[in-house]
């Protein structure tokens, strides 16, 4: 059995998988691979799947399956798995770091000190305590974020889809209600047809003036042009993003927009998460090897 590691994983993973077969990171060997390991970089499209003549299983290290044509893979009898539970803490902690960094102006403070400037009076800060956090996508990551926000004494709202009850947030039926009431809005829903571009000029019109938005979900859930305009107009006080239309972003209007805090899709990249992902993959391949 040939296992192709197509994206970046924990460095110890190839050694651990050797007991199940040959392990390679040579993408030219896709036609021979029985199992392919991907993260978000590899696009397992119809064309990609057509090249993989021996493929039986795709494992996505991470949560979002939007880079895999699941329907086509299933038609071809290829099983698709993700490592859904592994990344929750890593993404929730990065989201919280971004949410703290913006109102505390941490990046501007660092830059000013590096430039030898002392702008103590200009660096006004605001606190999270007592502010309202609106969570769009109250699943694993949204809930982990809510638990952390509660410890900071924030008020927490979430948007309804697929949420039947919550111990951590007050549920609102309409997106516009969450946008209108929140000082911080955090995106954690999957990228599907109904969430693609859902934060746009029209929905941004409902946002409370001066709110901060954090997106560690998926870049394509927002219209970047409209976010950039909202930042310029002051509708949004800040936008923190870990996720982009492409990795890395090309010609994104956000790069030059004011009050943007950017990270290069590192939400899942904690050392601990890479180890957890490796453990789940090892188990999935171990089970597969036993069955075949």
Q: Which residues bind ligand NAD (CB under 6 A)?
A: 62-64, 84, 87-88, 91, 137-142, 161-163, 188-192, 194-195, 216-218, 242-243, 265, 267-268
Complex with ligand NAD: residue 13 or 169, whichever CB lies closer? 169
Shortest Å distance, C-beta 99 to ligand NAD = 14
Complex with ligand NAD: residue 189 or 222, whichever CB lies closer? 189
CA 131 from centre of chain? 23
Shortest Å distance, C-beta 158 to ligand NAD = 7
* Tokens at 43, concatenated: 């696009």
Shortest Å distance, C-beta 122 to ligand NAD = 31
Shortest Å distance, C-beta 113 to ligand NAD = 29
16 vs 8: CA distance, rounded Å: 15
- Give yes or no for a contact between 27 and 50, defined as CB atoms under 8 angstroms apart: no
Complex with ligand NAD: residue 140 or 172, whichever CB lies closer? 140
How many angstroms separate the Cα of 241 from the Cα of each of 102, 137, 216, 280, 287? Answer: 11, 16, 6, 28, 37
Shortest Å distance, C-beta 159 to ligand NAD = 6
Phi first, then psi: what are they for 193, rounded to 5°? -55, -45
232 vs 288: CA distance, rounded Å: 52
Complex with ligand NAD: residue 115 or 193, whichever CB lies closer? 193
DSSP-based helix, strand, coil % in the chain, nearest 5: 35, 20, 45
Complex with ligand NAD: residue 105 or 273, whichever CB lies closer? 273
* Tokens at 238, concatenated: 């800040």
Complex with ligand NAD: residue 129 or 162, whichever CB lies closer? 162
Shortest Å distance, C-beta 14 to ligand NAD = 22
How many angstroms separate the Cα of 122 from the Cα of each of 31, 118, 236, 262? Answer: 59, 9, 19, 22
């Amino acid at each position: 059995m040939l296992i192709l590691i197509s994206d970046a994983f924990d460095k110890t993973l190839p050694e651990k998988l050797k007991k199940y077969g040959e392990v390679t990171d040579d993408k030219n060997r896709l036609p021979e691979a029985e199992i392919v390991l991907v993260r978000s970089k590899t696009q397992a499209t119809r064309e990609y799947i057509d090249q993989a003549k021996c493929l039986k299983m795709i494992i996505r290290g991470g949560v979002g399956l939007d880079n895999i044509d699941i329907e086509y893979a299933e038609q071809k009898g290829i099983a698709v798995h993700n490592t859904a539970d592994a990344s929750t803490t890593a993404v929730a902690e990065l989201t919280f770091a971004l949410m703290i960094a913006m109102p505390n102006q941490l990046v501007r403070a660092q830059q000013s000190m590096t430039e030898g400037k002392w702008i103590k009076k200009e660096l006004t800060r605001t606190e999270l305590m007592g502010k309202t956090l609106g969570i769009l996508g109250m699943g694993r990551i949204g809930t982990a974020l809510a638990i952390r926000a509660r410890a900071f004494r924030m008020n927490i709202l979430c948007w309804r889809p697929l949420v039947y009850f919550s111990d951590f947030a007050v549920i609102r039926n309409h997106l516009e209600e969450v946008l209108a009431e929140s000082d911080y809005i955090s995106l954690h829903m999957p990228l599907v047809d109904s969430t693609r571009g859902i934060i746009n000029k029209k929905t941004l019109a409902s946002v409370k003036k001066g709110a901060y938005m954090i997106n560690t979900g998926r870049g394509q859930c927002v219209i970047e042009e409209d976010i950039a305009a909202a930042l310029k107009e002051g509708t949004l006080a800040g936008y923190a993003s870990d996720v982009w239309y492409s990795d890395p972003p090309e010609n994104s209007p956000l790069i030059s927009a004011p009050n943007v805090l950017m990270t290069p899709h590192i939400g899942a990249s904690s050392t601990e998460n890479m180890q957890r992902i490796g453990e789940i993959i090892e188990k999935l391949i171990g089970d597969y090897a036993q069955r075949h």
